[in-house]
Amino acid sequence: MLAELREQTKWLRLLGFQALRPILEVTLRTDKQKLVYEYSDGLRASREVARLAGVGAGSVVRMWSDWLAAGICVEAVNTTGRAQHLVSLSALGIPLPVATGAASAEEE
């Protein structure tokens, strides 16, 4: 029974990823949006995501609101008011833009 559930979960994830990729490619049109989405891991506050992505905190909050409504991210489990992407862009084979400024200095 457990093995069958694991097999079903594996196939559901595959189907979900295949459906999510084109949605993200249409929704995340700019490099800044891609960076905000990638940094939205549910652990970072909007100000930290904004600093890393090089946008304003208000922009991050608006993007999170739009993405929550679209279903491409979820509210963080442990911290309300934060968004968490469903899967990282790199896991879907979507290339990440090169971060500049505070993001690139922190990532090195």
pLDDT in the model for residue 41: 95
State yes or no: pLDDT of 104 exceeds 60. Answer: no
pLDDT in the model for residue 102: 57
Which residues constitute the domain of residue 42? 2-107
pLDDT in the model for residue 105: 42
Mean pLDDT to the nearest integer, 89-105: 76
Closest CA to 72 of 80, 61, 81, 63: 63
Instruction: Give the domain CATH number at 24.
Output: 1.10.10
Number of domains in the chain: 1
State pLDDT tens for residues 54-90: 999 999 999 999 999 999 999 998 888 999 999 999 9
Average pLDDT of the chain is: 89
State yes or no: pLDDT of 32 exceeds 60. Answer: yes
First to last CA, the chain: 45
pLDDT in the model for residue 42: 95
Contacts of 31 (CB under 8 A, 6+ apart): 97
Entry pTM: 0.82
